[in-house]
Amino acid sequence: MSASGALGMVSNSMRTMLVGEMELGLTVDVTVLAPDEKGSDRRVNLFLYRLEENPYLANQDAMVLAGTDRLARPPLSLVLFYLLTAYAPNDELTGNSTAHQILGEAMRVLHENPVVPRGYLDAGLQDAREDLQVVNKSLDPEELSRIWATFAQPFRLSVLYQVSTVQLDMSAARQLALPGRVRRIGVPAVRQPMARPVVSELTPSAGPAGTTLTFRGSALAGWRAGVRFGGRVLVEREQLDGDAVRATVPADVGPGFYDVRVDVAGLFRRTFPFEVTP
């Protein structure tokens, strides 16, 4: 929707719908004027007297523009309020009855078309994201009185209609570059079927400080392993290229029995006893 002309397009679409749908046996013009602006003697007038931002659409996320790598800031979503007023020369006997007849016919049209049909939309609104919904609203008499008090015209019977939602797109200068997507380099290896790694033995089971410990098992190659000796880390996430894990008993431990724990990629854990001899 055009940011500069959308409001005028909506008013023109409303006028076109009234012109096309009213079925009075009278010639009635449809105008979009302020109440104090001169128009034909027999007409129905749409006066846009108030705008409000739609509170439910005020905090939308930015949208990706189709076919581009640009982000558009959310549009300004507006609700329009129109004052519908009928005009006709007064009759000596029936007074404003002709104006009332015109007003009733215009209200019928708006009641039967709660969404402005596409055939009546201006060309600039044909691809709008939102329908133009027309709803009759009650009008506070005090507010109505204040509206007419601002014009050098006597009060006339009027009806309030709300039209929503009209979206004004932000200018191209307010568009943002689309952030770069996360790139994944490489593909992790997948074992199928996966053989569960198992550590079956520790050799030797006893020896002095500085002894090399060897854990043997099956399906260990390719996994990462860790070894703890009495709470101390001897090996941390070492990549295995065979079915054995090796570690060295710390040189500063004293004689006694210690727990030695081996962990293979979080898939297998086992604790072995080891005696440090004098």
pLDDT tens, position by position, 67-113: 677 777 778 889 999 999 999 998 888 888 999 999 999 999 999 99
Largest CA distance in the chain: 129
Q: What pLDDT score was predicted for residue 30?
A: 95
Q: What are the structure tokens assigned to 264, written together? A: 């293979």
**pLDDT computed for residue 170 by the predictor:** 66
The percent of residues in the chain predicted with pLDDT above 70, rounded, is: 88
- 84: Cβ contacts below 8 Å, ≥ 6 apart: 44, 45, 46, 47, 103, 106, 107, 110, 158, 159, 160, 161
- Digit-coded pLDDT (tens) for 17-28: 999 999 988 889
Where residue 29 falls among pLDDT bands split at 50, 70, 90?
very high
Q: What does the mean pLDDT of the chain come to? A: 86
> What is the set of domains in the chain, with CATH numbers?
6-177 (3.30.2000.30), 198-276 (2.60.40.10)
The predicted-structure confidence for 203-248, as pLDDT tens digits, reads as follows: 999 999 999 999 999 988 889 999 999 888 999 989 988 889 999 9
Kindly report the length of the chain.
Answer: 278
Q: Within 10 A of 87 (CB to CB), how many other CB atoms are there?
A: 21
**How much is the pLDDT for 189?**
64
Supply the pLDDT for residue 72: 73
CA 264 to chain centre: 44
Distance CA 167, CA 182 (A): 32
Question: For the whole model, what pTM was predicted?
Answer: 0.59
Q: What is the pLDDT of residue 74?
A: 77
CA distance 164 to 252: 81
203: part of which helix (H) or strand (E)?
A: strand 198-203
pLDDT class for 57, splitting at 50, 70, 90?
A: confident
Phi, psi of 48 (to 5 degrees): -80, 110
- Angle value at C-alpha 157, between 29 and 132, nearest 5 degrees: 60
Residue 173 has pLDDT above 70, yes or no: no
